[in-house]
Amino acid sequence: MNEKSIPAIQNGTRTSWLNQPTNQPTNQPRSRLKYLLPAAMVITLVGLAPWTFARIVNNTIDPLAIVTGNGRHITVTGPIGCTALETAYLRVTVTQRSTGAMAEGITLITCTGDTGQWKVFASTRGNDAFEEGPATAVAVAVTTSQRGESTDAHQWLVNITLVGQ
């Protein structure tokens, strides 16, 4: 039992917290809150709706990538899903610790709303070449609306295996 539920005597009248007059200052914030909370929810939903539904989903990097061109080129693939009518800018970097090789490649994807397959042709930076075996791939995707505004950004890292063609 809390202290508010104990009856009290005010001005010769027995009262409790349940039958206090509604014009007391303690009740005013509650009545304002009754209208403020729904208004805040509507403003939040309307303001965030375009960004809430713009998403990059079902994304990963396939576990096998193809090394060609005497270890100077890597073909990396994977699935991606993004919001229809948006464009995804995808940058992939592949590194191999055993050789010190690094390759980068980019592609633009026209989003359909469904999951599709992407392919990036990455070329080495520097003089080091890739060999068949373990490597690491990192992909970064940024989607933009038709107005050119960024709507989502996502990064993922996958251990892959490089295989010859």
Q: What is the pLDDT of residues 2-22, one digit of tens each?
A: 545 455 455 555 555 445 555
DSSP state of 97: T
The predicted-structure confidence for 134-159, as pLDDT tens digits, reads as follows: 999 999 999 999 999 999 999 999 99
Token duo for residue 130: 């890739």
Q: What is the pTM assigned to this prediction?
A: 0.67
Q: Which residues contact 140 (CB under 8 A, 6 or more apart)?
A: 90, 91, 153, 154, 155
Mean pLDDT of 95-104: 98
Residue 33 confidence (pLDDT) above 70: no
Alpha carbons 159 and 84: distance in angstroms, whole number: 29
